[in-house]
């Protein structure tokens, strides 16, 4: 089975980590994001109040994909083909 995750933000990455925890490398996973980095929004507070660099909040998605052994496509997703094959 192949799983495609659109968006490497909070929800997408949470889903990725959970599914890897449950299925390991059983599933082929592709993650798509229009950005090259995932913005860790809660860490923005440290930028505003603790003088941390903005880069502290931006995690390269290719590094996450490599560490999780999944494919990363850096692209904007426009629409879904709703045809589902079970």
Ligand X SMILES: Cc1cc2nc3c(=O)[nH]c(=O)nc-3n(C[C@H](O)[C@H](O)[C@H](O)COP(=O)(O)OP(=O)(O)OC[C@H]3O[C@@H](n4cnc5c(N)ncnc54)[C@H](O)[C@@H]3O)c2cc1C
Task: By CB under 6 A, name the binding residues for ligand X.
Answer: 6-12, 32-35, 38, 41-42, 44-45, 76-77
Output the residue with the shortest Cβ distance to ligand X.
9
**How far apart are CB 52 and ligand X at their closest, in Å?**
13
**How far apart are CB 7 and ligand X at their closest, in Å?**
3
C-beta separation of 38 from 64 below 8 A:
yes
Q: Is 16 helix (H, G, I), strand (E, B) or coil?
A: helix
**How far apart are CB 84 and ligand X at their closest, in Å?**
20
With 0-12 CB in 10 A as exposed, 13-18 as middle and 19+ as buried, what is 72? buried
């Amino acid at each position: 089975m192949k799983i495609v995750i659109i968006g490497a933000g909070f929800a997408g990455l949470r889903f990725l980590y959970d599914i890897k925890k449950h299925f390991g490398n059983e599933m082929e996973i592709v993650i798509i994001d229009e950005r090259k980095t995932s913005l860790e929004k809660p860490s923005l507070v440290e930028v505003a109040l603790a003088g941390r660099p903005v880069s502290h909040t931006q995690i390269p998605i290719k590094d996450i994909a490599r560490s999780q052994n999944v494919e990363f496509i850096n692209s904007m997703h426009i629409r879904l083909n709703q045809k589902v094959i079970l």
